[in-house]
């Protein structure tokens, strides 16, 4: 799952949010600490990595701040999956350098995939940063900071076959205290022709299962009610206990985390269609607190294009997998990733993608037109031959179709009652809560006396938009009054 367009603060001192509105920069500067400000872009793994970085910095005297102009260290955790993401980062770096000119001595660093891809270019050619740190080198950040403070340019972009940061307890950079990410593995062994991730994050390696469970236990004891297990391809998770030689699969790990407590919801992202097993599906079906939601990227509805993408499945195989999911988990919600305008894609193949969205009934999709990334197999082998205006037109058509499918999916939920985890107050009104059901759908409903953030409540859906459900808490003291008000407003 990828976020190419986070909400940027118009005032650089304002707090930065991701698409769900979770706070990424928090806490005021402590009088006894140096301070760091961090922004994160791209996939959820980057947001999780920022929490690892925050923990490492905290051990060396740095505290997080929302005050960009007073920060001693400014970091940006980057994504290279699309050119637009890199362009956004460069614009932010230019702003950061204006801040630095007003406060000499401030250090600026680039973390993550863009650091890994561009390496010394950001330091020597563009001269935008003092530090360049790849995804496997965060432990070296304190040493690099020391050198940078003495005038050296700090860089470490070495990839590792072992690093999982399993022993580091992330410093949670959010303020809802309800949901959290747990990284279970790093890297990717799938060589999709369009994707730069294997080159920026290295080979797959899975984290010690017991440290994952321990982190989930700690989060629950601190009041968190939902964890999302993260990896580039979680279904390929495989860890061998060095003492017993027992192999822990992803399905086994899911059940281990679910057993932490019945009130701890478990989600995961992202799945590769070729690796998700029936064992995983049965684990979801048989454990109420493992959410009925799977993000299953299709990328293209055309078998020929999928082969060019090196996705290792065709249209028929994917449809059989979707059918299997709905067979085992009838009320499962499936979302997807779609790339339009890939090399040599025809209009007929574009229509196949549209048909797939309609057939699979995705609750939502992350949709983009193809952006060639240097160093990938596609960049080396294929011409990026679809004109930009065609890519954009096809993308608009896909977005329109997905909106129709999402809306119909939501209409079908009207009248149903869902168990909802209250995540916070709605952005539009402090008299309304926002939360999600097991299917990852956002539901907005009136605040009821006796309920609070972090509670589970049963919510009956009364109306919807394309992206959101609206409802009321069932059997709450104000239920009947709320129903009457909604009926009156419709009249």
Looking up residue 38, the CATH number of its domain turns out to be 3.40.50.2300
User: Does 412 map to a domain?
Assistant: no
* Shared domain check, 448 and 371: no
* Shared domain check, 8 and 131: yes
* Shared domain check, 183 and 146: no
User: Does 132 map to a domain?
Assistant: yes
* Shared domain check, 421 and 396: no
Helix (H) or strand (E) holding 17: none
Non-local (6+) Cβ contacts of 196 within 8 A are 80, 81, 113, 117, 373, 375, 376
Whether 306 contacts 292, CB under 8 Å: no
Residue-level pLDDT at 175: 66
Residue-level pLDDT at 60: 92
* Shared domain check, 225 and 189: yes
Residue-level pLDDT at 16: 33
User: Does 474 map to a domain?
Assistant: yes
Residues linked to residue 249 through DSSP beta bridges, in sequence order: 238
pTM for this predicted structure: 0.86
* Shared domain check, 225 and 135: no
Burial class (CB in 10 A: 0-12, 13-18, 19+), 348: exposed
* Shared domain check, 202 and 318: yes
User: Does 269 map to a domain?
Assistant: yes
CA 100 centroid distance within chain: 30
Whether 299 contacts 306, CB under 8 Å: yes
- Last residue in a domain, options 124, 156, 188: 156
* Shared domain check, 336 and 462: no
- Last residue in a domain, options 354, 372, 403: 403
* Shared domain check, 396 and 421: no
* Residue-level pLDDT, tens digit, the chain, 491 residues: 334 333 333 333 332 333 233 334 444 444 457 999 999 988 888 899 999 999 999 999 999 998 899 999 999 998 887 788 888 898 999 999 999 999 999 999 999 988 888 888 878 766 889 999 999 999 999 999 999 888 888 899 999 989 999 999 999 887 689 999 999 999 999 999 999 999 889 999 999 999 999 999 999 999 999 999 999 999 999 999 999 999 999 999 999 999 999 999 999 999 999 999 999 999 999 999 999 999 999 999 999 999 999 999 999 999 999 999 999 999 999 999 999 999 999 999 999 999 999 999 999 999 999 999 998 999 999 999 999 999 999 999 999 999 999 999 999 999 999 999 999 999 999 999 999 999 999 999 999 999 999 999 999 999 999 999 999 999 754 444 444 444 444 43
* Shared domain check, 341 and 227: yes
User: Does 167 map to a domain?
Assistant: no
Domains in the chain: how many in total? 3
- Last residue in a domain, options 403, 435, 455: 403
Secondary structure percentages of the chain, helix, strand, coil, to 5: 35, 25, 40
* Shared domain check, 310 and 423: no
User: Does 398 map to a domain?
Assistant: yes
CA distance 133 to 148: 12
Instruction: CATH number of the domain at 454, please.
Output: 2.40.50.140
* Shared domain check, 344 and 315: yes
User: Does 21 map to a domain?
Assistant: yes
User: Does 410 map to a domain?
Assistant: no
Residue spans of alpha helices (H) in 14-156:
44-58, 83-102, 113-118, 141-149
User: Pairing relation of β-strands 432-436 and 442-446?
Assistant: antiparallel
Q: Which residues form the domain of 484?
A: 417-490
CA distance 491 to 112: 53
Instruction: CATH number of the domain at 290, please.
Output: 3.80.30.20
């Amino acid at each position: 799952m990828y976020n190419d367009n986070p909400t940027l603060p118009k005032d650089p001192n304002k707090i930065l949010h991701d698409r769900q509105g979770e706070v990424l920069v928090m806490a005021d500067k402590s009088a006894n600490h140096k301070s760091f400000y961090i922004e994160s872009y791209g996939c959820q793994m980057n947001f999780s990595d920022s929490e690892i970085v925050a923990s490492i910095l905290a051990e060396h005297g740095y505290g997080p701040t929302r005050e960009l102009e007073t920060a001693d260290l400014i970091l940006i955790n980057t994504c290279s999956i699309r050119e637009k993401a890199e362009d956004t980062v460069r614009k932010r770096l230019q702003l950061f350098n204006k801040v630095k000119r007003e406060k000499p001595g401030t250090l600026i660093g680039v973390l993550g995939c863009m650091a890994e891809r561009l390496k010394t270019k950001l330091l020597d050619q563009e001269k935008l940063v003092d530090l360049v740190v790849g995804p496997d080198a965060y432990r070296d950040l304190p040493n690099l900071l020391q050198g940078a403070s003495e005038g050296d340019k700090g860089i470490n972009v070495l990839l590792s076959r072992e690093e999982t940061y399993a022993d580091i307890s992330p410093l949670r950079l959010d303020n809802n205290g309800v949901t959290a990410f747990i990284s279970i593995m790093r890297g990717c062994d799938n060589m999709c022709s369009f994707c730069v991730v294997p080159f920026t994050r290295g080979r797959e390696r899975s984290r010690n299962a017991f440290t994952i469970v321990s982190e989930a236990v700690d989060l629950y004891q601190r009041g968190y009610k939902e964890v999302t297990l993260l990896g580039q391809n979680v279904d390929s998770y495989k860890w061998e206990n060095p003492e017993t030689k027992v192999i822990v699969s992803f399905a086994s790990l899911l059940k281990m985390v679910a057993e932490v407590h019945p009130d701890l919801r478990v989600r995961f992202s992202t799945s590769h269609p070729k690796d998700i097993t029936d064992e995983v599906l049965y684990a979801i079906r048989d454990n109420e607190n493992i959410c009925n939601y799977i993000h299953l990227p299709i990328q293209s509805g055309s078998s020929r294009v999928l082969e060019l993408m090196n996705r290792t499945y065709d249209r028929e195989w994917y449809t059989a997998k979707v059918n299997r999911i709905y067979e085992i988990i009838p009320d499962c919600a499936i979302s997807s990733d779609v790339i339009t305008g890939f090399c040599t894609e025809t209009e007929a193949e574009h229509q196949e993608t549209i048909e797939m969205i309609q057939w699979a009934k995705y609750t939502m999709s992350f949709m983009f037109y193809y952006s060639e990334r240097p160093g990938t197999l596609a960049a080396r082998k294929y011409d990026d031959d679809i004109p930009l205006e065609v890519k954009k037109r096809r993308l608009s058509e896909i977005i329109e179709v997905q909106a129709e499918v999402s809306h119909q999916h939501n209409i079908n939920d009207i009248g149903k009652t869902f168990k909802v985890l209250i995540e916070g107050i709605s952005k539009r009104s402090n008299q309304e809560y926002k939360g999600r059901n097991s299917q990852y759908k956002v539901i907005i409903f009136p605040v009821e006396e006796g309920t609070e953030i972090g509670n589970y409540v049963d919510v009956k859906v009364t109306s919807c938009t394309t992206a959101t459900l609206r409802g009321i808490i069932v059997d709450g003291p104000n239920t009947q009054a709320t129903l009457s008000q909604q009926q009156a407003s419709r009249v």
